[in-house]
Structure 1
């Protein structure tokens, strides 16, 4: 497994993770020895290429299953691309443990590290730590610099995650009911979309991306204005 990971340019931990997610077939075993071959390496490189194109691991699993079952991979790939092109614009950040400690002086405790791992903010990769989002990393460290304990920041992150999931459910419900359902209306069960229909669906979903972000940003901004005005009255005795 170590040799396979080295050839694929990933960590052994990642290989194990792909095995657990059924993205990589089991090796051939001879006693206690597990043998991987060029097929496993090619599959890892395919996974890496699809991840770079923005596909999710769940979508990749479906694509690999479709290939094994002889289904139309092009159809699955087209629909998966239309629906699951990432909406986030996050850039992962690689840090040494020392760099992470420097960003959060005195706050990198076992409890806070466990909370970060549970939130999916960080993941170990060899001797480094990968943070999923530069924006979230910068925001967290800025809050800590302003005197907010990291434990409080992470507790708030859990609540924000919960509200964000609810908003995502709302918007995906709208897309499902009024965009995807409309594209599938009048179609026989199992009948694939044409290339033109997939292109049109992708275009519509892409157009909804900035709209949903604008709605959330505008509502949050107005809510903060209302809340801060109300709080200022009690903080400073303002009318």
Structure 2
């Protein structure tokens, strides 16, 4: 415990307090010896970074609980399911820096429920680099992350309906193995229609 506290730059008393608050997982025990590892050190450094950014211990405790109870990376990515999206691995500090002041327990829980985030040890995995970049760009433009996530939920519902429409269309006329080969066609249709829809709405404002 003393060695871990020293590496993390905190006192043993503070470390005991974090353990009591369940901000870090318990150590592995062998008899009377408690073994800590790099995961404990990473968690302590994350706590320090979040405290420096103005988060409260209560808020950090809720964040830690959400991380520990979140989807793991296998569930998030659907094991060997085919995907064109590139996942992104982040530390909690990197996630907080991407969404300055917006990584609240409520927003984190919403992102976990939506399937944007999963966990892999002490790392966070975002399911799509494109969605991560767009979300952080919208927040930088002044749109609250809570509203971005709420919009993402609506987009997810519409996207699922479009995917089912395309799947049904293809399966009526082609074998199932053609779905993966033809998916770029579906993406092109959706991108073109969304572009045309935005044109129509922008003309309404003129």
Q: What TM-score range do you get, normalising by the shorter chain? A: 0.5 to 0.7
Does residue 1:218 correspond to 2:192, yes or no?
yes
After superposition, where does 1:132-171 map in structure 2 within 5 Å? 132-171=127-166
In the alignment, is the contact (CA less than 8 A) between 2:85 and 2:129 conserved in 1? yes
Give the length in aligned residue pairs: 137
SS in 2 for 1:108: coil
2: CA distance between counterparts of 1:210 and 1:94?
26
Q: Which runs of 4+ in 1 moved over 4 A?
A: none
Alpha-carbon distance between aligned partners in 2 of 1:169 and 1:152, rounded to the nearest angstrom: 26
Aligned in 2, Cα 1:17/1:135: closer, same or farther, shift over 3 Å? closer
Q: Show the counterpart of 2:114.
A: 119
Match of residue 84 from structure 2: 89
Q: Do structure 1's residue 102 and structure 2's residue 76 form an aligned pair?
A: no
The whole-number CA distance in structure 1 between the counterparts of 2:88 and 2:180 is: 26
TM-score by length of 1: 0.52
How many Å separate the matches in 1 of 2:121 and 2:158?
A: 33
Please say if residues 91 and 122 of structure 2, whose CA atoms lie closer than 8 Å, have aligned partners that are also in contact: yes
CA RMSD of aligned residues (A): 2.8
Where 2:103 maps in the other structure, the secondary structure is: coil
Structure 1 gap segments, 5+ residues each: 3-12, 22-50, 57-85, 181-200, 234-239
Q: Distance in 2 between matches of 1:206 and 1:120?
A: 22
| Whole-Å separation in 1 of the counterparts to 2:101 and 2:73 | 31
- Structure 2 CA distance, aligned partners of 1:208 and 1:119? 26
Render the CA deviation track for 1:44-79: whole Å, top value 9, x for unaligned: xxxxxxx5xxx33xxxxxxxxxxxxxxxxxxxxxxx
Matches of 1:160 and 1:103, distance apart in 2: 22
In the aligned structure 1, how far is the partner of 2:96 from the partner of 2:129?
A: 16
Q: CA deviation at 1:146?
A: 0.6
Using structure 2 for the length normalisation, give the TM-score: 0.60
For residues 156-205 of structure 1, give each alpha carbon's deviation from its aligned partner in whole angstroms, at most 9, with x where no partner exists.
Answer: 0000000000001100111221113xxxxxxxxxxxxxxxxxxxx64x43
Tell me the alpha carbon deviations over residues 94-129 of structure 1, each in whole angstroms, 9 at most, x when there is no partner.
Answer: 111111000000000000000000011111221111
Mapping of 1:19-30 within 5 angstroms? none
* Larger Rg computed on CA atoms: 1
Residue 209 (1) aligns with residue 183 (2): yes
